[in-house]
Structure 1
Amino acid sequence: MIRYAPWKVASIILGTLVAILLVIPSLLPVSTRESLARAAPWLPARAIVLGLDLQGGAHVLLEVDTPSVVRSRVEALRDDVRRALREDQVKLTGGIGLQAKGVQLRIPDPADRAKALPKLRQLAQPLGASLTGAVSDFTVNEGDDGVVQLMLTDAGIDARVRRAVDQSIEVLRRRVDALGTTEPNIQREGNDRILVEVPGLQDAQRLKDILGTTAKLEFRLVGDSGANPGDVEQLPYYKASEGSGTLPVEKRVMVQGEDLTDAQPGFDSRTSEPVVNFRFNLRGGQQFGQVTAENVGKPFAIVLDEKIVSAPRILGPITGGSGQISGNFTVQGANDLAVLLRAGALPAKLTIVEERTVGPGLGEDSINAGKRAAYVAAILVLGYMLLTYGVFGVFADIALGVHILLIFAFMVLLGATLTLPGIAGIVFTIGVAVDANVLIYERIREEAHSGRSILQSLDTGFKRAFATIIDSNVTMFVAAAILYLFGSGPVRGFAVSLGLGILTSVVTAVTMTRMMIALWYRWKRPTVLPI
């Protein structure tokens, strides 16, 4: 018990000092922290990240537009069917008709029908495996008089919506990260909803504009007004000199926006207007160069979300794989468009079903309330330990202070977000931490009352209480892990602080308290236990 290695004492003291260095930046103003980082870049300068409920910010709940997912899939299915039948030269009567959840066609010739049906069934590829097996995308039904229907299944629609949510989360994360915000929370809510929380961002409208835009970029040729209506569509176009209007644009997409590799805001060298400079990958650059070479002198429409943002005339072949989008942008508008294009297009339309802005004043009130709760809890616990265990209570109180310090230090290292439920978790772990000390001290009392010497009582008390402490803390840690894995939002914030508090309480209550008692015994050589 009294033989405590010097390296152990040194490591505990060093660990405490490192924790202090990690936590100090969180206590400093932002300006002081930035100055410190410039003056001494080798010092840790990261601060604890405050959640939405503590520093304010924007909260938006989005829902995937299931009808648009179904409509997009039906249109893609129509194109797949048309391509498959064209390859086998199958003749149709009346074309391919679109329905709410599928397509319908009529193949009057039995020979053509017998040739086409196996090809159509091959298109119905499973989307993936589930607990009950593969999920079928659509079914092929043969009716009377050569009518064939390809209908989407409910399981296939659900799977596509889930996939759209997963893809949308990644796109939204890239968009929000590009705004320079800190620790955004983007997660799934149910089957078709996405929760986005951005601490510190007070411009909710800008966030909605960034999140709600699909950013589907296409490059098409401007069509002739007298062209076949099936090949041309009218799209809205705003021109500063002419005002709002429409332009006929070919439905055929010459170059897809998916081939973009980069997009950056800039300024036009001639007009000094904000523009967006973009660059294609190899495939997109080749297509872009070929289209511009074959259509010199023709206007080329740049279409974003079914709206023409620019329609420049092709003056010559553009073979460098890069170009420029101009469209009467503001500086922020050009920057936001570049963010959208870099992040990629959303796979489906998102609808905002709930929005909320938390002001920094409310966050300050939450912080003050959390501080008061923590201070009251700490004072009561510290006072109880002092009155009940005397000098041993002082050791427990010192260990408790280090315990809270370690929680914040680990949060800085992990980049975890501190929320109001997280503060509640820290307050809760204050009681958990001293609970281990109570178990140890009461065990030491029992050993002393049974007639053992002071040294034997101390040594046996720590050893026999250790198993009980581990059992209770493991049980609580498992509960915290379950809350983190299956919870969301505030529940996760509580679980993080609780889990870290449980881990650090074992270290401080057992290792640190034991060290202090060992050093006290070697210094005082008491004849009576002070508890």
Structure 2
Amino acid sequence: MGKGSVGKGSVGKGMGKLVAVLVAFLVVVAGMWGTIAALGWSPQLGLDLRGGVSITLVPAAGQAIDDEVLDQTVQIIRQRVDGLGVAEPEIARQGDTVLVQLPGVTDREQAEQVIGRTAQLQFRRVVEIIPPDDPAYADAGDACGQEVLVGPPPEDAEVVLCEGDVGEDGQALAPEERLKYRLGTVDLGGSDVTDAAAALDQGLGTQWLVNLELDGQGAQAFAAVTAELACEPPGAATRQFAVVLDGVVESAPTMSDNVVCGTGITGGSAVITTGGEDEARELALVLRTGALPIQLEFATSQSVSPTLGSASLTAGLQAGFIGLVLVALYLLALYRGIGLAAIAELAAFGAMVYGLIIVLGNTVGFTLTLAGIAGIIVSIGIAADSSIIYRERYRDEIRAGRTVRTAADAAFTSAFRTNLTGNTVSFLAAGVLYILAVGPVRGFAFTLGLSTLIDTLLFATFTRSLFGLIARSPKLATSRLMGLRADVVTPTLVDDAPAQPERSERGSGDASRVDRGANR
């Protein structure tokens, strides 16, 4: 065997390695999709594709806020949303604004009630109850829920308008018929509550309650207050203990005659009477997660129709499919046979990207948004660009006098450096965008970065192996299949040392230069 040549054994060994890499890649992809099919997984769609509720909250005016308070607010809202059972919500800060995205939620009013409620809980003694026919009623404040002073109240006593009182027949009272309460100081607060759970009153069977568990300090304070209230005359307003939530008296239960004066209610438990089951569960949730440190106002609140989301998803998928078809046709027209290999590479790229999006959605909670689909569509161009770079490098190597096999190997080395450099820049840009951006833009950055990583991995494994096997096959490595003119090269599996094209005055064309170089 002449110097600089490679025997058939080396060729066979090289093909075996390429086959092994290609098979391993296909096994991984098949295993991923087999798992997806077996578990019945599907992509987790975001708000713009699935429909749902989008809420923007801003702090009410006149409040002292800082980053710590806002971060605490976001954390409490996240706990409340988790309690609603919303799949893959997105809660994020944009400066002083809190953006809440709730995919799949259809009841916007319920979402607003749970998320935006401050849930400042207070337990306060009732000093006096002001009925609607009392002359002092009109002076007690006009706005429901507003705390105002009334007449010459006792020291630190305040009045709270009760929003949810009911008459003796159980019917809700009109605003002008509701009772107003003159209340004493705060004896217990929401910070004393360790747990809250909605339950059906076992005695009435139709009344829903919220059972509260108090911490040690709260239990002692509750026992001390109820011990004093039990000493008040039966039927007196001062025997009642008001439960105030966000400035509204939710209930004002009277001490039972069974409560012993001077002993009170021990055990660290309390009860709030509510309306229906939904109200009880929502109240228990907001009390369990704690009060918001600041009062929030709704800047925007809108519902996204599932039909509109489905139309957006269909449009995005159609755009991606059309892009793939156009790129495939271009590659086929430009590179003929090896264009088919490029199409196979794009198909493998799509299978990897879409499969990983499904896996990530069902394992770590990644949601696919319309912006994410845009990132995938952009990445199609990145993947196609990698294929084009490889094939153009390959053509350059053939024109430089290499055989098909050595041209394929040399072209990969050069093209991979270019691929790695370009994809590194794209990945870093996507990473910076993901860190700095919020909302849907992060979805674009994530899918773009993920697709860039997959493209590099695919190029180093699937693309190299597939193209290398074609170049090493006598039946496949024909000039027409490899996208070359028939007079450019006659492929061979025996790889001589790369030759430099000779120059002659009369020149005999590319084919003669390659032949002389190969026979040197």
Asked if structure 1 preserves the Cα contact closer than 8 Å seen for 2:116 and 2:297, the reply is yes
- The answer on whether the counterparts of 1:274 and 1:326 sit within 8 Å (CA) in structure 2 is yes
Provide Cα deviations, 1:128-168, integer angstroms capped at 9, x if missing partner: xxxxxxxxxxxxxxxxxxxxxxxxxxxxx4xx343332221
Task: Say whether residues 1:291 and 2:251 are aligned partners.
Answer: no
Cα-Cα RMSD? 2.2
Q: Give 1:214's aligned residue.
A: 118
1:178 aligns with 2:78: no
- Residue from 444, 462, 482 that aligns with 1:494: 444
> Alignment partner of 1:474: what SS?
helix
Q: Is the 8 A contact 2:128 2:181 kept in 1?
A: no
Q: Is the 8 A contact 1:404 1:501 kept in 2?
A: no
Q: CA deviation at 1:379?
A: 0.5
How many residues are matched? Answer: 420
* 1:406-417 matched pairs, under 5 angstroms: 406-411=352-357, 412-413=359-360, 414-417=364-367
Residues 437-516 of structure 1 aligned to structure 2 (within 5 Å): 437-516=387-466
Q: Would the aligned equivalents of 1:421 and 1:494 in 2 still touch at CA under 8 Å?
A: yes
Match of 1:230 in 2: 155
CA distance in 1, matches of 2:463, 2:303: 45
Equivalent residues in 2 for 1:222-301 (5 A)? 222-224=126-128, 228-237=153-162, 238-241=164-167, 243=173, 244-251=178-185, 253-272=186-205, 273-296=207-230, 298-301=239-242
Match of 1:163 among 68, 73, 78: 68
Question: Which residue of structure 1 lines up, in the alignment, with residue 509 of structure 2?
Answer: none
Using a 3 Å threshold, how does the CA distance of structure 1 residues 400 and 208 change in structure 2: closer, same or farther? same
Deviations 1:97-156 (A, max 9, x none): xxxxxxxxxxxxxxxxxxxxxxxxxxxxxxxxxxxxxxxxxxxxxxxxxxxxxxxxxxxx
Equivalent in the alignment of 2:246: 305
The 1:231–1:16 alpha-carbon spacing in structure 2 relative to 1, beyond 3 Å, is same
Gaps of 5+ in 1: 25-42, 70-156
Deviation of the 1:476 alpha carbon: 0.9
| 1:383 aligned counterpart, secondary structure | helix
In 2 relative to 1, CA 204–20 (structure 1 residues): closer, same or farther, beyond 3 Å?
same
Mean Cα deviation higher: 196-205 or 224-233: 224-233
Q: Find the aligned partners of 1:14 and 1:294 in 2 and give their Cα distance.
A: 75
- One-letter code of the match for 1:312? P
SS in 2 for 1:187: strand
User: C-alpha distance in 1, partners of 2:276/2:327?
Assistant: 58
Structure 1 stretches of 4+ moved >6 Å: none
TM-score where L is the length of structure 2:
0.76
Give the equivalent residue in structure 2 for 1:55: 50
**Structure 2 partner of 1:342:** 288
How far residue 214 of structure 1 moved from its aligned partner, in angstroms, is 0.6
The sequence identity of aligned pairs, in percent, is 34
CA distance in 2: counterparts of 1:287 and 1:385, whole angstroms: 78
**Structure 2 counterpart of 1:234, one-letter code:** V
Alpha-carbon shift at residue 477 of structure 1 (Å): 1.0
Which of 188, 207, 224 is the matching residue for 2:93? 188
Cα separation, 1, equivalents of 2:332 and 2:126:
83
Largest Rg, 1 or 2:
2
Name the SS of the counterpart of 2:196 in structure 1: strand
- What's 1:333 paired with? 279
Provide, for residues 441-480 of structure 1, a one-character-per-residue CA deviation record: whole Å limited to 9, x for no partner: 1111111121112221111111111111100011111111
Q: Which amino acid aligns with 2:297?
A: T
